[in-house]
Amino acid sequence: MSESELGSATESNTEPPKYDAPYWLQELIVAEDELKSFWSAARKVIRRYMDQNDTSVQALASKVDRFNVFWSNVGVLKASLYANPPKPLVKRDFDDYMDDEARVAGVMMERLLNQGFETPESDMNVAFRHTVEDRLVPGMGQLWFRYCPEIEIQEFSSEFGPPIQVEQLVNEVVATDYLYWEDYWFSPARTEAEVRWKARRVWMDREEFTGRFPKCSPSHVTWVKRTPQKQGERVTPKDMGIQKTEIFEIWCKTTKHVYWVSRSYEDKLLDECADPLGIESFFPCPPPLIGTHTTSNLVPRSDYAMTQTQYRRLDVLAMRIGMLEQAIQASGVYDKSNSELSQLLPGDGSNKMIPVDSWALFAEKGGLKGAVDWFPLETIANALDKLRQLFQDAKLELYELTGISDIMRGATAPRETATAQTLKAQYSSVRLQYLQNEVAQFFQNALRIKADIIANNFQPETIIKNSLIEYTPDGELAVPAAELIKSEWNRCYRITVHADQLAIPDYNAERGARIEFISAMGQFVSQVWPMLEQNPSSGIFFLQVLQWGIASFRSAATIEGVFDKAILAITHQIQQPAPPPPPDPALIKAQAEVGAKKQTAMIEAQEAQQELVLRGKEHQQEMAAHAQKTNAEVASIFAKTKATIQSQKAISAAKIAETKRQNRVKMRAKSDG
pLDDT digits (tens, 9 = 90+) for 130-141: 999 999 999 999
Identify the pLDDT of residue 642. 79
Residue/partner pairs of 371-374 with CB below 8 Å, 24 or more apart: 371/334, 371/335, 371/338, 371/341, 372/332, 372/333, 372/334, 372/341, 372/344, 373/332, 373/333, 374/330, 374/331, 374/332
Identify the pLDDT of residue 370. 55
* Cα(88)–Cα(68) distance, integer angstroms: 36
**Among the listed residues 306, 283, 423, 241, the one whose alpha carbon sits nearest the alpha carbon of residue 70:** 306
E strands, 341-494, where?
352-356, 373-374
CB 122 within 8 A of CB 525: no
**Among the listed residues 358, 329, 331, 328, the one whose alpha carbon sits nearest the alpha carbon of residue 342:** 331
Identify the pLDDT of residue 53. 64
CB 90 within 8 A of CB 497: yes
Residue/partner pairs of 293-301 with CB below 8 Å, 24 or more apart: 295/190, 295/191, 296/190, 297/188, 297/190, 298/186, 298/188, 298/189, 298/190, 298/191, 298/192, 298/194, 298/195, 299/34, 299/35, 299/37, 299/38, 300/38, 300/139, 300/140, 301/38, 301/41, 301/139
Beta-bridged to residue 244, according to DSSP, are: 224
Identify the pLDDT of residue 127. 93
* Integer-rounded Cα radius of gyration of the chain: 52
Domain ranges of the chain: 331-371, 585-673
Identify the pLDDT of residue 490. 73
Identify the pLDDT of residue 352. 63
Packing angle, helices 460-467 and 100-114, rounded to 10: 70
Q: Mean pLDDT for each consecutive 10-residue tract of the chain (673 residues)?
A: 46 69 94 94 91 53 65 86 82 74 88 81 89 95 94 76 79 94 96 96 92 89 74 72 90 96 88 93 95 93 89 85 73 60 58 59 51 64 85 82 62 58 58 82 92 93 91 85 85 75 51 73 78 70 70 61 65 64 70 77 80 79 79 78 80 82 82 71
Packing angle, helices 560-575 and 539-550, rounded to 10: 170
The 10 Å CB-count burial string (b at 16+, else e) for 531-559 is eeeeeeeebeebbeebbebbbebbbbbee
* Cα(383)–Cα(381) distance, integer angstroms: 5
Helix ranges restricted to H, 488-584: 488-494, 505-534, 539-550, 560-575
Write down the pTM of the prediction: 0.69
Span 37-84, pLDDT tens digits: 999 999 999 998 988 765 443 443 345 566 788 888 888 888 888 877
Identify the pLDDT of residue 55. 46
* Cα(514)–Cα(307) distance, integer angstroms: 42
Identify the pLDDT of residue 117. 77
